Amino acid sequence: MDKLQQLKKHLKRGQVYRRAELANWSNSVDRHLHALVNEGTLQKLSHGLYHYPEKTVFGKTPPTEEVLVRGFLKDDRFLLTSPNAYNALGVGTTQLYNKKTVYNHKRHGDFTLGGMTFSFRVKPHFPRKATPEFLLVDLLNNLDNLAEDPKLVLEKVKYRASSMDKRKLLSSVKEYGSARTKKMLEPVMSLQYA
């Protein structure tokens, strides 16, 4: 069996690989990557990032956003979200954004991976899953970046906050809220905990 075939044995469909990872199984990684991309086995997603697509009756499937981000970061500790998630809170946000935000511990900046742009933000703390309480705090942290009128949204946020689980909201505010967010929610929080 030649070296290219040996490298192929390590690949799993649906996974994303970094060049450095594939170099562990190849004595000539660049030549092998070039061959695998040319024959259609791997798809190049960005510089040094490759995908081994799954095959379906409809053709090859792109990687899921989670698999793509996990492969890029080489880490499972991240939260993938979008400003579109704020729309479910019922606070007057209705815009649709073509933007994905990735809270993580490693990378900061905007990166295009597999034709999609992700905004990576290094944060010391973020939950494993975006709860309504976290989303409300995150919305306030990013209020100036939204297309809606901040004053109108803030009024609705205060009303929405008063109907949320008090302990969960307080925990999210303390853990994830910026100083400005804490100040904006202070009137609501002091009424709830007076």
Domain limits for position 48: 3-63
Residues 185 and 96 in one domain: yes
| Phi (first) and psi of residue 30, to 5 degrees | -65, -40
| Nearest CA-CA partner of 67 in 17, 28, 25 | 17
Residue 88: alpha-carbon gap to chain centroid: 18
Please, which pLDDT band fits residue 45 given cuts at 50, 70 and 90? Answer: very high
> Are 97 and 46 within one domain?
no
Rounded to an integer, the average pLDDT of 64-90 is 94
Q: How many distinct structural domains can be found in the chain?
A: 2
Region 5-30: what's the mean pLDDT? 91
Would the CA dihedral through 125, 14, 60, 1 be positive or negative? Answer: positive
Average pLDDT of the residues of the chain = 91
Do 177 and 135 fall within a single domain?
yes
**In the prediction, which pLDDT does 134 show?**
97
Question: How confident is the model over 95-102, as a mean pLDDT?
Answer: 91
Contact present, 7 and 21 (Cβ < 8 Å):
no
pLDDT at res. 194: 41
Q: Give pLDDT, residue 126.
A: 96
Phi, psi at 69, each rounded to 5°:
-65, -40
Q: Please give the average per-residue pLDDT across 144-162, as a whole number.
A: 91
Asked whether residue 36 falls in the same domain as residue 93, the answer is no
pLDDT score recorded for residue 186: 83
Residue range 136-163: mean pLDDT, rounded: 92
Residues making up the chain, counted from first to last: 194
pLDDT score recorded for residue 192: 52
For residue 139, the model assigns a pLDDT of 96
Q: What is the mean pLDDT of residues 130-155?
A: 94
Q: Let me know if residue 55 belongs to a domain.
A: yes
Q: Tell me if 72 sits within 8 A of 83, measured CB to CB.
A: no
Specify the pLDDT at position 185.
Answer: 87
